[in-house]
Amino acid sequence: MNLKKSLLGVSLAASLGFGAAANAAFVMEDLTIDFTSVGGPVVMGVDAIGFNDAPFRSILTDVNGNGLDAGDFYTVTGKGAAGTLLSNEDGTISPSGFGLAGGFELTFDFNLDVLVTSVVGPQINFTHMAGADALRFYLDDLDAANGDGGVKSNPGTGLGYTDGTLVLTFDVLAGEGGSVNVSTLFDGSDDATFILAAINTAGIFKDSEGKPFVIGSTLALTDSNFDLDSNNNNKLDETRGGFGCTEANQSAGFFCGVEDGTVRFAVPEPGTLAIMGLGLLGLGWSARRKASV
């Protein structure tokens, strides 16, 4: 699978509901990630985090009961592990032991609702709906000799992704999105923008000046491609992830897949902060309504 976007010039316009494209976010470069708490080093100069074979499941809610069409939505649940730390100048800068059994790993899980905007033949187009606690990052020590060695993430079983220490929690902003083909190509792509909701463990992620991320203004920008037929037999039969997907029970309304992509961090331009604040107020209202049901 191909990683689509360049490391610079990321647009936040779609996430905030603008009609025209604009470079409304500054991508953060030369980040520092401190792995000392899980037996690793301090890594500087990180510009992006790469991941692959991240399993997920999509379940359709047929809002009007007449089959898949615009206005329906999917609930997408998934998990993944960072495979590489990337630098614009130096390429891969992953330290020794990163993502390996006996070493340490950075993992994540996510839960998203995406709104179907149109269905054109086998292609389903969608945008993201705002949601709280949508993306979480974890650090995990995998060295059993330390007495706290965790379980290595396994895309086949779906185990080992959330047993580490919770580090960051993000909400997802409405907008952006992508498309998926469920009957001929069995693949798709997606872009999403998340905003930092909580620093669960301090001191792990820092900007180029050594300052911590800021709740309410640090963004996570994800760019992924996904595959619903990794064995290339022209069927919806991806069973990895421990989500209950089998070779026989998948359809356009219930399917599993795996994702490859990148995560980058950014800060919005000052002029967009007020608009984001309005969006977050709406997100809070939505969360309160769900809690009262």
The DSSP symbol for 159 reads: B
Cβ proximity of 99 and 152 under 8 Å: no
In whole angstroms, what is the distance from residue 17 CA to residue 176 CA? 9
Model pTM score = 0.86
Residue 269 has what pLDDT?
A: 72
Cα distances (angstroms) measured from residue 194 to each of 15, 128, 174, 240: 9, 10, 9, 26
Residue 10 has what pLDDT?
A: 35
Is the alpha carbon torsion for 27, 135, 174, 287 positive or negative? Answer: negative
How would you write the pLDDT of the chain (293 residues) with one tens digit per residue?
Answer: 222 333 333 333 333 333 333 336 789 999 999 999 999 999 999 999 999 999 999 999 999 999 999 999 999 999 999 999 999 999 999 999 999 999 999 999 999 999 999 999 999 999 999 999 999 999 999 987 766 668 999 999 999 999 999 999 999 999 999 999 999 999 999 999 999 999 999 999 999 999 999 999 899 999 999 999 999 999 999 999 999 999 999 999 999 999 999 999 999 876 555 555 545 445 444 443 444 33
* Nearest residue to 77 via CA among 49, 25, 114: 114
Residue 270 has what pLDDT?
A: 66
Residue 24 has what pLDDT?
A: 65
Cβ proximity of 70 and 254 under 8 Å: no
